[in-house]
Chains A and B, each alone.
Chain A
Amino acid sequence: MSHSNLSGEDRDKLTFLLDCYGAYTHHWPEEKRSWALNLIEQYQEARIMRDQALELDQLLDCSSAEPNSSHLISSILVQAPQKTQEIRKQDAPNLLSQLWPYESIWRPLSALTTAGVFGIILGTSSPDFLYQQEITEIESAYLEFSLGDNFSNNFPEGEID
């Protein structure tokens, strides 16, 4: 540790550093930090200069410039990206997907609906056709039974002895 005075150049540079950034070493530019610390370690004059600069830093510390603004938090968060909620909605299993977990529910539903509609149309538009067709088949079978002579000839294997 030396008590001799700083060189003029070092004094000017250190004065400028302390005038700009104060006495806190973490505020100093990185490239000048070790140089300044060396001066402070070596010279009493440098330490006095640092202590003088420290006074203003300590006063500035009293004012953090961080007013409590917590009442704004909710209104800011409301405007934050909401993608998570959409994902949650997609992920949340609804009643339909619980009932039909394999595929989208519209597939079996549309198939059932189509079949139902087709059946209703067929049933309401052509009941006579279906009825007549049944009667005709029964009638023809009855006629073949009742006509004994021709009955045996209806078998594909040929005549029965």
Chain B
Amino acid sequence: MARVAQGDEHACRLLVHRHLNPLVGLALRMTTNKSEAEDIAQEAFVRLWKQSHDWQAKAKISTWLYRVAHNLAIDAIRRRERQKLSVNDQVEINENTTCTQNNQDHMLHQQDITRQIETAISHLPERQRTAITLVHHRDMSNKEAAHVMDISVDALESLLARGRKSLKKILSESRADLLGATL
């Protein structure tokens, strides 16, 4: 982080490469709006650049970024709710994520599976989506994820348990098909 503060371009680039896509992914999960998610990720980095001169050595960059992005996404969601934006403005979530497979047919099938999973996740309440994304997709410890969401570990566990239970229920109808594709 000291190198970032000194304007080391390589260090800045490394940070952006490492954290940009996961950060956009989290924001996208929360807001379900790609342009909003990209704005949030950009803003998180801008805040990191500004913070770099006063950076506390004990702080973990990824946790800090996720926390900022999480708060920005919450703000965006609240702002949108106030403005009552049309659902039509929301783009289809996660259109760019794919499971990498060599076989093209298999890849198309995987994309279809991914779309189904994303759709199921999008049906969860925002806080459950965020909790699952942080713990499952970002491999955060329960304490880290709770810190990012500014909640207790107990509250996080409750969100995770309810989220996973709902997902199982949503996906149960196509379970055999989905599992056949992933295994």
Contact = CB atoms under 8 A, between A and B. Distances in A.
Given A56-B164, A65-B25, A65-B28, A84 B7 contact: yes
Interface string B22-42: 101110110000100110011
Contacts, number: 144
B94 interface: yes
Contact of A81 (B5, B34, B94, B182): B5
B113 interface: yes
A73 to B, nearest CB: 5
Interface residues of B, number: 61
Given A80-B4, A80-B7, A85-B7, A66 B97 contact: yes
B145 to A, nearest CB: 10
A79 to B, nearest CB: 5
Interface of A is mostly: helix
A67 B7 contact: no
Interface residues of A, number: 40
Interface of B: 4-9, 12-13, 16-17, 20-22, 24-26, 28-29, 34, 37-38, 41-42, 45-46, 49, 52-53, 94-97, 99, 110, 113-114, 117-118, 121, 132-133, 135-137, 139, 141-142, 157, 160-161, 164-165, 167-168, 171, 175, 178-179, 181-183
A120 B28 CA distance: 75
A58 B114 CA distance: 11
A59 interface: yes
B20 A69 contact: yes
Contacts of A65: 22, 25-26, 28-29, 94, 97, 133, 137
Contacts of A29: 141-142
B87 to A, nearest CB: 20
A76 interface: yes
A62 B112 CA distance: 10
Nearest to A88: B7
Q: Which of B5, B49, B53, B118 has the most CB of A within 10 A?
A: B49
Contacts of B13: 73, 77
Interface stretch (A15-23, A109-117, A130-138): A15-23
Given A77-B9, A79-B46, A84-B7, A19 B164 contact: yes
List 4 tightest A-B contacts by C-beta distance, closest first. A83-B7, A65-B25, A84-B7, A80-B12
B112 to A, nearest CB: 10
B94 A76 contact: no
Given A20-B157, A56-B164, A59-B182, A81 B49 contact: yes
